[in-house]
A and B are shown apart, each in its own frame.
Chain A
Amino acid sequence: MLSRTADNLFWMSRYVERAENVARILHAASRMANIPGNDDGLTNEWQSALAASASTHAFEETGKDPTAENVFEFLAFSDANPSSIRNCLRFARTNARAVRGALTLDTWEAINGAWLELHRYRTDDISPSGLNRFVAWVKEVSLRVDGSAYRTMLRNDAYWFSRLGVYLERAENTARILDVKYHVLLPDTEPVGGGLDYFQWSAILRSVSALTAYHWVYRDSFKPWLIADLLILREEMPRSLASCYANLSNFLDELARTYGRQGDSQRQARRVYAQLRNARTDDIFQSGLHEFLVEFLEENNRLGTAITDQYLI
């Protein structure tokens, strides 16, 4: 397979995954901002939404205030934001179009159709219900793209490269969401019985669609260390770092088997995966959740570089 084709597939699915993540972040921020008694935290929610989607810097350059309207517009539609949902879908489609032949008709139609439908959403409708409709639609797009790929693509290198994009992006996103909110997970700053914490925790879980999963796994009320456990170490949780790395190692191994050659990316993925499997929540909290997440993000970046060097250029 052409290196460029692999690169396009990798980024196509990565951008779709990013679009969904931004949508979830928006959704969680909007819920938090609408919670009564959260008045002074109102602006903060939108700032953390910017941080969680790595858009703080780009937003500051616009010189606008981080109000609900401005942040929603920026994260959803802005041309100036390279990670806005609109741009993500545009880039996904540009990548898909360049490798049209490597996609199944269903997958292409899911992406192309999303790009066409996107024009139905008015950029000036920034009401909460407008946001909800839009977010639901983006999630649906992501499901359609993912589902069509899952159901129709041959299980060969084209599929594996597209999966690598998904899991690398998802791992980054989960780690970033956790890092933006890590302070509310720290036991020593926990205000006793604070209702706000409850909402903060549920917002974190909601932004990675893990609210129900939490109850199934732990059958317990929200405990910050359990939330961290779920999103970092639990392999059965599809957005956890461990699950992402189980998939990354797996698909990289498939590639290595097919091509008959191992490389840096296989070694890097296996190393990080092993660390996640051997880690315990207590240790992570003891040595610092923030430090752990920062280091993870660096490792994740390193894997991205290794994949690029080994296959995509």
Chain B
Amino acid sequence: MGTEFFDEMRSSIEGCREPYRGLAEWLEGIPDDLIEQRRSEAELLFRRIGITFAVYGEARSEERIIPFDVVPRIITGTEWGRMAEGLEQRVKAINAFLADIYSNQEILKAGILPAELIFANPAFRPEMMGRKIRGDVYVPIAGIDIVRVDADTFYVLEDNARTPSGVSYMLEDREVMMLLFPELFSRYNVRPVENYPEELLATLQSIAPENAPREPTIALLTPGPFNSAFYEHSFLADKVGIELVEGHDLVVRDNFVYMRTTQGLQQVDVIYRRVDDDFIDPLTFRPDSALGVAGLMSVYEAGNVSLANAVGTGIADDKAIYSYMPEILKFYLGEEPILKNVPTHRCREPEALSYVLDNLAELVVKEVHGSGGYGMLVGPTADRKTREEFAAKLKEEPENYIAQPTLALSTCPTWVESGLAPRHVDLRPFVLTGTDKVRIVPGGLTRVALREGSLVVNSSQGGGTKDTWVING
């Protein structure tokens, strides 16, 4: 079955695709044990720097490092140019959709989406109805997951419009690659990604409330050191040069939000929050949340603080909504989507459900509200019993699931125990939208499924990362 997949290095008549030629030559020129040695150096570096993540529900593994693959993934400038256009278009549509959903709901009136998909959706926040968001930028930071299936076709697998993570790995992977393989960079003209923190800062500044000072005070709100992405939070706060705050560092007084400092209270204008909607304000959302700030929503509603991303953006990256993205995009922009959607069966529709149940062995079934690779069924690799159990769940709550064909995810050469071998990859580029302009650094996070044959790239499921090179040409 391995031959059916598009390999980004080898799938070509001459044996090596043009953009990978330099890499292939270089790989042939160095002995295996040197690569292995650099690989373990990289691991040591990551551990020493403290780039770790936690896997929920696993005792004894409070912190692990995400395996880093030393073989870079290469994307040509032409491929990237097209992709970047598609990303910008897609995020523009997402923002337009959110602005509409939380105001006039023209898209529902036009009958493009079934209304219950919005109103019965836990990610929909009625509190946001009629709120004015500056420049209609609901999603300043988006992570769009993209998979490749052949030389020309890229699909959007998933939109992440809540609190997309992984950008720190994009930055650190590049850092480590430049440290370990400087000679490889002389063979290619690799476009830099290290300006991401500056671009993020400019984006966050642009969305500050209009009455905020010219240099607004910005803070990154983290759930704290026990969160799986805490390393990224502290890394970003540090690189961007903003305060890293936890809920109890912030306090609301007279409809403004302040942080407790060694010199007293200091007003905060923009919060890049890496805490989910449910937890940001115990007075509005979950009362048992200790991660948020009591009263934050009323400050937000008064327009005295900006949140990135806005509250309620989850309605746009819901997997059930995902299947409507092509229609959504056409509705708001009047354009054809540049990036395709994976064909998706909505199990809420009876015809689709019976098709899914009949073809479970060929499909990937996902929970509509799930993330991180939890609660999904990969039909072709699941055993019969697992499939039957899943079928029962499907019948019980069909509206909770969508199904997609098993995609022939492209593979990239990856360093594994036996040497170089093809492994499946995806790509998460990050799209920054300010009130002034859209900023996308060339590249993103490439995740690789390290297990042979595996299509699941999530770090919680044994995935690793690669440095992603967008090269000139």
Binding site for B on A (CB under 8 A): 1-6, 94, 97-101, 105, 108-109, 112-113, 116, 157, 161, 255, 259, 261, 311-313
Contacts and interface: CB of A to CB of B under 8 A. Distances in A.
Nearest to B219: A2
Interface stretch (B31-39, B119-127, B240-248, B290-298): B240-248
Interface of B: 47-50, 224-225, 230-231, 234-235, 237-238, 243-246, 248-249, 259-263
A13 to B, nearest CB: 16
Interface centre among B230, B245, B259, B263 (most CB of A within 10 A): B263
A101 B243 CA distance: 9
| Chain A interface helix/strand/loop/mixed | helix
Contact of B261 (A3, A98, A113): A3
A312 B237 CA distance: 20
A100 B262 contact: no
Contacts of A101: 234-235, 237-238, 244
A311 B244 contact: no
B48 A2 contact: no
A112 B48 contact: yes
A1 B262 contact: yes
Contacts of A3: 249, 260-262
A259 B48 contact: no
Nearest to B239: A101
Nearest to B243: A2
Contacts of A112: 48, 50
Contacts of B243: 2, 5
Given A2-B243, A94-B225, A100 B50 contact: yes
A97 B232 CA distance: 12
B261 to A, nearest CB: 6
Q: Nearest 3 CB-CB pairs, A to B?
A: A101-B238, A100-B234, A311-B262
Given A101-B237, A105-B49, A112-B48, A2 B225 contact: no
Contacts of A108: 49-50
A109 B47 CA distance: 9
Contacts of B49: 105, 108-109
B263 A259 contact: yes
A5 B49 CA distance: 19
Contacts of B263: 1, 259, 261
A53 to B, nearest CB: 27
Nearest to B240: A101
Contacts of B231: 100
A116 B244 contact: no
Contact of B245 (A2, A157, A313): A2
A267 B310 CA distance: 46
A259 B246 CA distance: 23
11 contacts: A2-B244, A2-B260, A5-B243, A98-B224, A101-B235, A101-B244, A105-B49, A109-B48, A113-B48, A157-B262, A255-B262
B261 A1 contact: yes
Contacts of A311: 262
A261 B261 CA distance: 14
A2 B238 contact: no
Nearest to A112: B50
Contacts of A2: 243-245, 249, 259-262
Given A100-B231, A312-B262, A313-B260, 13 more contacts: A2-B245, A2-B259, A2-B262, A3-B249, A3-B262, A5-B243, A6-B262, A97-B225, A97-B230, A101-B244, A109-B49, A116-B47, A259-B263
A4 B237 CA distance: 15
Contacts of A261: 263
